[in-house]
Amino acid sequence: MKTNGSAIKNIPFEKIAKVEFEGDNHIPGSVDTPMREDAHELSDEEKIAFIEDRFQDIMETLGLDLSDDSLSGTPHRVAKMFVKEKFKGLDPKNKPEMRAFDNKYKYNEMIVEKNITVNSSCEHHFVPIMGKAHVAYISSGKVVGLSKLNRVVDYYARRPQVQERLTRQIAEEISRSLNTNDVAVIVEANHLCVSSRGIEDKSSSTVTAEYMGHFRNESKKREFLDYVNMELKH
Ligand SMILES: [Zn+2]
């Protein structure tokens, strides 16, 4: 088995205690995803090759035999999944183009897109966060194709995340690209780091909300929540 000396770091005890406390308590950081300045210097292929090597080290450190047919392709599969799927929202080239159109119908009420699938990952444990987002905005003269709202949710979800930041990033992106202050976002999700480890609570879910502009007003907030709770009668 190859060993990588530089990977063995001497982390002082106080730091480890802090790391475990912050992770388990899910203390949120800043609104922007913390990124390195050189974040986009490598191509996807280079990133995949690097991650593949390191993931192989992780598996070998755990004691797995990578000459087994079932395991031999795992480092590559995981690396490709990280770069091209689970964390593709870290790369601005994957950001959906939010082309806004004039609001020709003069529809001035709120537009709600609800039950949008959220497929994200907890940045403290790198395990899935799965749930739904409900978003709404009131046009200030511009509208977007409805599926763009789903795509914005998906783009920001596909990063290592904390749910509070995800909620704000979605709201701010919709506000910015549609040039409106009137945006609401609710995210309800299950965190596998809560259900499958630590406290192992399988029934709880986490709800976060961001209300901007007119959605801070009780009647607009109530109207949005009524739409979210409304069941379609087919
Ligand atoms: Zn977590």
From the candidates 52, 56, 113, 122, which is the catalytic residue? 122
Per-residue pLDDT, averaged over 136-161, amounts to 95
Last residue of a domain, one of 43, 62, 94: 94
Catalytic residue check, 173: no
Element (H, E) at 112: strand 110-122
Q: Is 49 found in the same domain as 116?
A: no
The yes-or-no answer on residue 214 being catalytic is no
Q: Which of the following is catalytic: 163, 164, 210, 214? A: 163
- Identify the domain containing residue 26 by its residue range: 12-94
Judgement on whether residues 139 and 42 belong to the same structural domain of the protein: no
Judgement on whether residues 60 and 163 belong to the same structural domain of the protein? no
Rounded distance from Cα 46 to ligand 1 centre (Å) = 28
The alpha carbon of 129 and the centre of ligand 1 are apart by a number of angstroms equal to: 8
Q: Provide the pLDDT for residue 165.
A: 97
CA of 153 to the centre of ligand 1 (A): 19
Angstrom distance (rounded) from CA 66 to CA 60: 7
**Tell me: the pLDDT tens digits for 115-132?**
999 999 999 999 999 999
Supply the pLDDT for residue 186: 98
Name the token pair of 83.
């770069």
Global pTM reads 0.89
Per-residue pLDDT tens over the stretch 3-15: 444 545 667 777 7
